[in-house]
Chains A and B, each alone.
Chain A
Amino acid sequence: MASSTIAVENTTKNPLLAALGLLPGIALLAVIGLAAKWIEQSLNGYTKAHHIVFPNIEYVLWAIVIGLIIGNLVKLPAIFQPGVDTYEFWLKTGIVLLGSRFLVADIRKLGGISLLLVFIEIGGSLLLMTALGKAFGLRPKLINLLAIGSAVCGVSAIIATKGAIDADDEDSSFAIAAILALGAISLVAFPAIGHALHMSNNAYGLWTGLAVDNTAEATAAGAIYSDAAGKVAVLAKTCRNAMIGFVVLGYAVYWARKGQANVIGNKATFLWQKFPKFVLGFLLISAAVSFGAFNADQVKSLANLSRWAFLLTFAGVGLKTNFGALSKQGVKPFVVGIVGEVLIAALTLGLVIGANRIWTL
């Protein structure tokens, strides 16, 4: 997200040049995404034609794998960087457009269940990560960053908290690296567990949205399972993202009282600043569709535009995951992260299974 912020900020200096500078990287994202789509379709066509039993591997996984290979084996020329950094921008555009696939009634039902589980997940994750961090002797602000990153929404939450509690760059890098590394692992682990447990699309999507920390990885981990699961994962993750301001405010007030961070002025302004505005766009599009502003064909077009935006996102996720850089960040935060995330994944899985029994997701 931050990277795309930089890319968009550049447009304020020389809009035309900055926009042109984005094109090579965006073209690269598109080529990787299209190649992934082609592999999925070709593989499906081949296995069907030859009557080979083979699981359908969604283009999402291929896009990430191709991106990972390029990003980790080749040093990308600088000309591609600004455009590649826009992948979080495409993620948010895709989420807003995804609003077309949710009627307000869907959001009320699934969103209501998600919100309830999000409150439990955030409380449990904050307590768990704080206890683990203390047990492993991590620095207090690093513990806070890891706790909020795993409880709310990954990298965005860590960046928001870093500024609010005046944490070190080193602590933020540790926490971000741990969250991103665990996000990469979740792309493989979550679908495997979901299939092993024969989870429904809704239940799996809800679990992924609750347990996977970074929004891009949560969306991808959901979409790898199925298109329908990806849709629910985004809704659940969006509910979590909406909580970011409240949790960051809590930590900011705590550190300000200890004299180790700036005092918060107007709390309502602070909450508005931290609130992810794309959530409003998501609700706006959903409301427009619910009130009949679009016909069925137009809704399909909006949903497909959302898929194209996600296609660019997934290519970017692979390209920007650098295992070399992640491995340099030290062992302890990773151990705390891994132990904590496994426990949070188990906790949220239990919550989703419980919710499934009550509401039949």
Chain B
Amino acid sequence: MAEQVVTKKSGLPVDWWAVLLAVVLAILVRFGVLQHIPW
């Protein structure tokens, strides 16, 4: 893993992808498209 991490390129920001996915999920939950997600 260490080698993969070190050879990383600083490209598209994963942080923004994570924020985007989470916000999309939140919107789907807010407007009832996703309901009663179990655990």
Shortest distance from the beta carbon of A107 to any chain B beta carbon, whole Å: 17
Shortest distance from the beta carbon of A35 to any chain B beta carbon, whole Å: 16
Known contacts A88-B14, A301-B35, A301-B36, A96 near B5 by CB under 8 Å: no
Known contacts A2-B5, A6-B4, A305 near B15 by CB under 8 Å: no
Task: Kindly name the residue among B2, B12, B26, B30 whose own CB sees the greatest number of chain A CB atoms within 10 A.
Answer: B2
| Selected contact of B8 from candidates A6, A305, A326, CB within 8 Å | A6
Q: Mark B1-39, 1 if CB is under 8 A from A, else 0.
A: 111111111111111111101110110011000111111
With A and B bound together, what is the CA distance between A322 and B3 in angstroms?
Answer: 12
A159-B34 in contact (CB<8A): no
Shortest distance from the beta carbon of A314 to any chain B beta carbon, whole Å: 14
Known contacts A305-B37, A320-B1, A159 near B8 by CB under 8 Å: yes
- Report the interface size for chain A: residues with CB under 8 A from the other chain: 54
Main secondary structure of the interface of B (DSSP, over half): helix
A93-B21 in contact (CB<8A): yes
Q: Mark A271-299, 1 if CB is under 8 A from B, else 0.
A: 00000111011001100100001100110
Chain A contacts of B9 at CB under 8 A? Answer: 5-6, 9
Stretch at the interface among A126-134, A170-178, A338-346: A170-178
With A and B bound together, what is the CA distance between A87 and B38 in angstroms?
Answer: 21
B22-A89 in contact (CB<8A): no
Task: Kindly name the residue among B3, B14, B29, B38 whose own CB sees the greatest number of chain A CB atoms within 10 A.
Answer: B14
| Selected contact of B22 from candidates A173, A176, A285, A301, CB within 8 Å | A285
With A and B bound together, what is the CA distance between A5 and B14 in angstroms?
Answer: 6
Task: Kindly name the residue among A88, A93, A172 whose own CB sees the greatest number of chain B CB atoms within 10 A.
Answer: A93
Whether, in the assembled complex, A3 has its beta carbon less than 8 Å from a beta carbon of chain B, the answer is yes
Q: Which residue of A lies closest to B25 (CB)?
A: A305
B2-A278 in contact (CB<8A): no
A12-B14 in contact (CB<8A): no
Known contacts A97-B25, A288-B26, A3 near B1 by CB under 8 Å: yes
Taking CB atoms and an 8 Å cut-off, the chain A residues in 223-282 that contact chain B are 276-278, 280-281
A96-B35 in contact (CB<8A): no
B26-A285 in contact (CB<8A): yes
Known contacts A97-B22, A281-B23, A301-B35, A3 near B3 by CB under 8 Å: no
A278-B18 in contact (CB<8A): yes
| Selected contact of A2 from candidates B8, B18, B19, B35, CB within 8 Å | B8
Q: Which residue of A lies closest to B19 (CB)?
A: A281
Contacts beyond the supplied A1-B14, A294-B29: 16 A-B pairs with Cβ under 8 Å? A1-B5, A2-B5, A2-B7, A5-B11, A5-B13, A6-B9, A96-B19, A155-B5, A163-B10, A173-B2, A176-B5, A302-B29, A304-B37, A305-B37, A325-B3, A329-B2
